[in-house]
Amino acid sequence: RRGRETTLASRRFVSMADMHQAALEWTITAENWSGPVEVITALDARVINQGVARYRELEGRHLHSVTSRTSSSDTISLIAQTRQSRIYVAEAARTRVYGESGALETDRSLYQMEDYIHQTLGFNLQQGQSIRVEKLVSFYTSHDQAINEPLTNAEKAVGRFGSFDEALDHHRRAWNELWDDCDIRVPNDDRVQFLLRFHASHVLQTCSPHTADLDVGVPARGLNGEAYRGHIFWDELYIYPFLNFRLPRITRGLLRYRYRRLDEARALARDAGYRGAMYPWQSGSDGKEETQVVHLNPRSGLWEPDMSQNQRHVSAAIFYNIWHYLQATGDTDFLLSAGAEMMIEIARFWSSIAHFNPTRDRYEIHGVMGPDEFHEKYPDSHEPGLRNNAYTNIMVAWLMNIAAGLPDQLPERRRRSLREQIELTDQEIETWKEMSRKMYVPFLADGVISQFEGWENLEELDWAAYREKYDNIQRLDRILRAEGKEPDRYKLLKQADTVLLFYLFRQNELKEIFERLGYSYTSETLRKNVAYYDARTSHGSTLSFVTYAGVFLEIDLTTSWDRYMVALESDVGDVQGGTTAEGIHMGVMSGTLDIVQRSYLGEVIRDGILYFNPKAIDHLRGLNLPMRFRGLLIGVTLEDGRLRVGAEVDSLNRSVKIGVGDQVREIRSGESYTFDL
Amino acid sequence: RRGRETTLASRRFVSMADMHQAALEWTITAENWSGPVEVITALDARVINQGVARYRELEGRHLHSVTSRTSSSDTISLIAQTRQSRIYVAEAARTRVYGESGALETDRSLYQMEDYIHQTLGFNLQQGQSIRVEKLVSFYTSHDQAINEPLTNAEKAVGRFGSFDEALDHHRRAWNELWDDCDIRVPNDDRVQFLLRFHASHVLQTCSPHTADLDVGVPARGLNGEAYRGHIFWDELYIYPFLNFRLPRITRGLLRYRYRRLDEARALARDAGYRGAMYPWQSGSDGKEETQVVHLNPRSGLWEPDMSQNQRHVSAAIFYNIWHYLQATGDTDFLLSAGAEMMIEIARFWSSIAHFNPTRDRYEIHGVMGPDEFHEKYPDSHEPGLRNNAYTNIMVAWLMNIAAGLPDQLPERRRRSLREQIELTDQEIETWKEMSRKMYVPFLADGVISQFEGWENLEELDWAAYREKYDNIQRLDRILRAEGKEPDRYKLLKQADTVLLFYLFRQNELKEIFERLGYSYTSETLRKNVAYYDARTSHGSTLSFVTYAGVFLEIDLTTSWDRYMVALESDVGDVQGGTTAEGIHMGVMSGTLDIVQRSYLGEVIRDGILYFNPKAIDHLRGLNLPMRFRGLLIGVTLEDGRLRVGAEVDSLNRSVKIGVGDQVREIRSGESYTFDL
């Protein structure tokens, strides 16, 4: 009706207080007219996956219809089932209309199919009057615990759902509690403050205290989009550290997700002729390998072979994640019930995929690739994988040293039963010790680590020419292939590979690993490696900026901060040109949060002591963040030239040891201490 | 074929190593004939519940058929679905036949319906020859974690299932590990030794490390029968203590099962007009009240009203269970994440169901019943429940004292957020403190506690006459009702009610509770109460013998041991005449194990110290048992006049404090100490 002015104010949320609740409120105001209004409230199971353009030719229907019904006059409900995995999904929606003097009676008519149901609510609106519509929804799946049947429980729950305002209030309180644990405060830079909160809010939507008790992993693209089909990759390496120090229950839940899939990782190793546990590069529901074997190049329209499942380094990342979770939490129970078994089985896998080369007197690993996905194999070779990826081999040298000492850290009874159960021998442990001293690492000239053996034979790319020819060369692989060239022919990287080592380990840790291996590590090693690889990295993965921001900190604060800002702005600005709509990048979002503690505060745990080594960055003046270390919540504040650490009041009277340089203080519940920097 | 002699040897197991595995082996020997043999291997989803005669008129079909199929030549599989709760249940069976020189090819024919499938395996047998048939089965449900779809995963798993012998070996090793944690050794009495192991084996079949991670409670009748329809009652009070000190992960899992149903307990309280959490007397899948409201009397054939849901004391039992779990384990994480919230909500419920009687200057609780099910109401009354059941009121006085101190034990941050979340006020805590000092307890003459207010007005029963008239008067309620008499008219008890207090608490604990309440507790209180109630107890519940065995220990060792032996023999001998076939009695089985530590060793935890006060019972000479206290495994051995406590070697270098009388020793990992008694 021409000329009618209507105001619609909408509020909606999915509750952080109750994972089964969502709600929607519409306030409709007739500004200059009076008359009848109809509002349709529906539940729809005909939804299909169509959020990623290049997947649209794949099957996008994932739901079977089951039934819909009305369980009371103001409630509609619906249950559907996933087509392959037989999971039921049920929703019930109660819709009520409120005028200024309370609930209104409305005409309701019903439209109902097996997989769709709606009520039409009719009422009259007077000029200037506002009407509020509350649609409260309960959601259950057959994977939920403590339920009877998903549809019945959804209906029961929506019947008990209070008002929109009450539920919103609970939702807000739950978020406030999360912010108390997670808010990194940066008073000196509003943009950074905004982006950190933006990232934390997304991380906590995908990994929340609710998901901690579910059998769910952390999908690389969050729960926001369909890219990567919800698969679990290695991004956990970037995602866990932020959570380890704030909500370790979540990390523990994610690690248990991996533990429940240990048998599948064992089967994957066995089927490939290895021992122990080989975690898949991409996985889903039951933990089997789900990596695609062909990949569509949108530039050429061709399906190209995909060998990325040879990124065996995911198993090293899982080992690293367990170890760092244990360092941050001291969670002995997890170590005994799951962690030790996983770490040992991963070490066992690495010792079986490696072989001893008597000529070099070194252990070597062939047929794998590193994180850099531009190199899946040698040029002109049909064999997938490379020889001696340095990142992989050094991670293995590191983890073998830990794994070899692990059995001795277990209580006698658990050690005995675990050894029996997985038939672990002393001989294996001896081999692991040897591998920690004898993994082979290839080098180029002048102390630069070679990304893999044979890197030196590749061609240099004419970077200037490509930068001139293309607006964006992040996905140089697609560009080169569309030109008929194989990226594996060139000295180029999609993302940090070798350089990642300098991000994951402190320099003194790396020095120790190198010296144990009998390789030299000098004060110039980091600088030379970063310089060499930075010049050849296209940053085709957003994670690359996170890594380079961290490693540049040791070289040049400004470059580090520039890279950091790219990473911080990458999802909000959709720097990859369209990928954010397909799902946020969990690794970058959580990695940019972690970098504040890991790099800018210089956090590291040694011998049960949490050390800081802050960098003086003007943007971070007054930085203040909460950290949970070994059960105790502490607040860390960076003041000019000083670092203040205060511990919460804790009736259990726990304490933590905090160090800055040579100063180490035991800080008890309720105490604080200010370190001079 | 007349005259043919055939030997069939059968072995079968459900694996303790892998909860998805079961296996069956038949060895068939043709002693004096040669000829063709057919073996049928089937999966059958047409099973119905018909194990309890008096339930047979109720619906016993719980499965819908879905589909059956053959996934490879030697594998059949089947998936069905529960009719109401929509849970899928899938099985796959691989059957192979082995001769003396390895696997045999056999003829296989198939018979297949939606809910039943079998293969017929045909082969020839020569005289004197043995043939071995292995049927390996994998089992998954849609509630399992880390699966894709139950049928597919069952088929994948059975394909990876090794041989019968390998799987049996893993099964044995898993049981050996459990026995290391759980075996109570009684070298001086073979019968008791046998029965304790019999009970432990049943307890561990129902509550195992596998169930710890599932959303399952502990059904009163185990997993062995259909009695009580799998419902969860209060028997946990008797079941947890044995597990708390051996496999606390299991108790923790069971407590989390309760925690996940806290919202349902809140709803139950709210719907009844109370605050906090009122746990249901009987519950199942989603934790709602499932107690029947009528009950069939097999003696009279009549359906009689059942008011047993007024046994609100189940919520006190849950509080007690949480508290004692925390005492045995020191599991702060559970306290913070679930335990405190449950305890506070339970206290809140009790403070809302109680009312203050200014005349008495006491808090009273009306309309509930105690554990004794012969008294659901007053004679001739139609109102369910009784006034001031002493057991309930004293449990409430005890728990209020703990609940009031609980918030101060939480770390500041958790205290603040929990208080906000559940809107806990200082006023409430003040009321709890007051209730711990002012609960009303009714007394008869001479310091005997009155089971409830008004007990003194009931009639004495002519026990001698009934004992003469009936072989077994355990279920006097059914006998009296069949005679047209109401049991609530008489001074008689089905099972320990008031007396249970002397089992759950040490005398000095009770003295403290009584003195806080301003009631007198003398050295004669226990003896007088036990004597009074023992003379009036029919022991209609097997749990009653456990309780009386415990309390008689303070009066007369011989009587205690006699009662104990009745409890020990009750399931193996089916003393209730047929109830064991309907399901074992978990409370008795676990209670008889607990009594060894609780009563005969006199275990109690005070101020984080585990005290022992052993009784000299000849049957228990040389008693030796493992206990896990606050994470550390210790072995406790009762020698003549001495008690030896040794701690396992534990690289975490934990220690525990052990006391006997005034002697308290800190025992470190790897150390042992012998106390003189």
Mutate to test the interface with B, among A15, A82, A86, A87 (most CBs of B within 10 A): A86
- Per-residue model confidence (pLDDT) at position B156: 97
Distance from CA of B437 to the nearest CA of A (A): 25
- Per-residue model confidence (pLDDT) at position B540: 82
Residues in chain B within 8 Å Cβ distance of A413: 180, 633, 648
Contact B85 A631 (CB under 8 A): no
- Contact at 8 Å (CB) between A339 and A416? no
Distance from CA of A240 to the nearest CA of B (A): 20
- Contact at 8 Å (CB) between B227 and B282? no
Distance from CA of A309 to the nearest CA of B (A): 20
Distance from CA of B142 to the nearest CA of A (A): 7
Provide the pLDDT confidence category of residue B303 given band limits of 50, 70 and 90. confident
Q: Find the closest chain A residue to B84 by CA distance.
A: A149
The answer to whether residue A472 scores a pLDDT higher than 90 is no
- Per-residue model confidence (pLDDT) at position B477: 87
Contact A669 B411 (CB under 8 A): yes
Question: Is A6-164 a CATH 2.60.40.10 domain?
Answer: no
Contact A285 B417 (CB under 8 A): no
**Tens-place pLDDT, residues A156-180:** 999 999 999 999 999 999 999 999 9
**Tens-place pLDDT, residues A220-239:** 999 988 999 999 999 999 99
**Tens-place pLDDT, residues A556-600:** 999 999 999 999 999 998 887 778 889 999 999 999 999 999 999
Q: Find the closest chain B residue to A152 by CA distance.
A: B85
Q: Is A306 helix (H, G, I), strand (E, B) or coil?
A: coil
Q: Find the closest chain B residue to A149 by CA distance.
A: B85
Contact A146 B260 (CB under 8 A): yes
**Tens-place pLDDT, residues B289-298:** 999 888 888 7
**Tens-place pLDDT, residues A43-92:** 999 999 998 888 888 889 999 999 999 999 999 999 999 999 999 999 99
Poorest-pLDDT segment among A541-550, A656-665, B528-537: A541-550
**Tens-place pLDDT, residues A478-492:** 889 889 899 999 999
The answer to whether residue A208 scores a pLDDT higher than 90 is yes
- Among the listed residues B154, B140, B19, B48, the one whose alpha carbon sits nearest the alpha carbon of residue B87: B140
* Residue in A146, A257, A261 nearest the CB of B261: A146
Distance from CA of B255 to the nearest CA of A (A): 13
Mutate to test the interface with B, among A153, A651, A669, A671 (most CBs of B within 10 A): A651
Bridge partners of B636?
Answer: B625, B645
DSSP element (H, E) containing B484: none
Distance from CA of B66 to the nearest CA of A (A): 12
- Per-residue model confidence (pLDDT) at position A224: 86
**Tens-place pLDDT, residues A254-282:** 999 999 999 999 999 999 999 999 999 99
Contact B173 A264 (CB under 8 A): no
* Angstrom distance (rounded) from CA B28 to CA B9: 7
Question: Is A179-596 a CATH 1.50.10.10 domain?
Answer: yes
Contact B651 A177 (CB under 8 A): no
Poorest-pLDDT segment among A370-374, A540-544, B586-590: A540-544
Quick one: DSSP state of residue B583? -
Provide the pLDDT confidence category of residue A41 given band limits of 50, 70 and 90. very high
- Residue A380 class from Cβ within 10 Å (0-12 exposed, 13-18 middle, 19+ buried)? exposed
- Contact at 8 Å (CB) between A244 and A322? no
Contact B148 A85 (CB under 8 A): yes
Distance from CA of A249 to the nearest CA of B (A): 10
- Per-residue model confidence (pLDDT) at position A265: 98
Residues in chain A within 8 Å Cβ distance of B422: none
* Residue in B177, B413, B652 nearest the CB of A332: B652
- Among the listed residues A531, A565, A527, A525, the one whose alpha carbon sits nearest the alpha carbon of residue A546: A565
Distance of CA A532 to the CA centre of its chain: 28
Contact A421 B173 (CB under 8 A): yes
* Residue in A215, A267, A652 nearest the CB of B146: A215
**Helices B248-260 and B313-329: angle between axes, nearest 10 degrees:** 140
- Per-residue model confidence (pLDDT) at position B2: 82
Please list the active-site residues of A: 373
* Residue in B150, B267, B337 nearest the CB of A160: B267
Mutate to test the interface with B, among A145, A260, A342 (most CBs of B within 10 A): A145
Q: Which residue has the tokens 């590749």?
A: A458
**Tens-place pLDDT, residues B308-364:** 999 999 999 999 999 999 999 999 889 999 999 999 999 999 999 999 999 999 999
CATH topology of domain B6-178: Beta-galactosidase; Chain A, domain 5 (2.70.98)
The answer to whether residue B577 scores a pLDDT higher than 80 is no
Distance from CA of B9 to the nearest CA of A (A): 29
Q: Find the closest chain B residue to A264 by CA distance.
A: B146
Counted across chains A and B, CB pairs separated by less than 8 A come out at: 111
Please list the active-site residues of B: 373
Q: Find the closest chain A residue to B86 by CA distance.
A: A149
State phi, psi for A233 to the nearest 5 degrees.
Answer: -115, -145
* Angstrom distance (rounded) from CA B645 to CA B625: 10
The residue-averaged pLDDT of A603-610 equals: 96
State phi, psi for B639 to the nearest 5 degrees.
Answer: -105, 175
Distinct helix (H) and strand (E) counts, chain B: 21, 23
B574: left (phi over 0), alpha (psi -120 to 50) or beta: left
Q: Mean pLDDT score of chain B, rounded to an integer?
A: 95
Burial B412-450 (b: 16+ CB within 10 A, else e): ebbbebbbeeeebeeebbebbeebbebbbbbeeeebbbb
**Helices B412-422 and B390-409: angle between axes, nearest 10 degrees:** 130
Provide the pLDDT confidence category of residue B580 given band limits of 50, 70 and 90. confident
Residues in chain B within 8 Å Cβ distance of A421: 173, 177
Contact B180 A261 (CB under 8 A): no
The answer to whether residue A295 scores a pLDDT higher than 90 is no
Q: Find the closest chain A residue to B153 by CA distance.
A: A286
- Per-residue model confidence (pLDDT) at position A130: 96
Contact A411 B649 (CB under 8 A): yes
Strands, E, within A55-129: which ranges? 63-72, 75-82, 88-99, 102-103, 107-112, 116-125
C-alpha torsion sign, points B407, B408, B411, B417: positive
Burial B623-647 (b: 16+ CB within 10 A, else e): bbbbbbbbbbbbebbbeeeebebeb
Contact A149 B85 (CB under 8 A): yes
Residues in chain A within 8 Å Cβ distance of B650: 411-412
- Dihedral angle over CA of B389, B392, B396, B399, nearest 10: 160
Interface predicted TM-score of the whole assembly (ipTM), two decimals: 0.93
* Angstrom distance (rounded) from CA A208 to CA A69: 32
- Among the listed residues A618, A669, A621, the one whose alpha carbon sits nearest the alpha carbon of residue A645: A669
Give the count of beta carbons closer than 10 Å to the beta carbon of residue B664: 14
SS3 content of chain B, % helix, strand, coil (to 5): 40, 25, 35
Bridge partners of A663?
Answer: A660
Residue ranges of the domains in chain A? Answer: 6-164, 179-596, 618-676
Contact A264 B146 (CB under 8 A): yes
Mutate to test the interface with A, among B18, B82, B148, B179 (most CBs of A within 10 A): B148
Contact B411 A160 (CB under 8 A): no
Give the count of beta carbons closer than 10 Å to the beta carbon of residue B390: 23
- Among the listed residues A324, A290, A489, the one whose alpha carbon sits nearest the alpha carbon of residue A395: A324
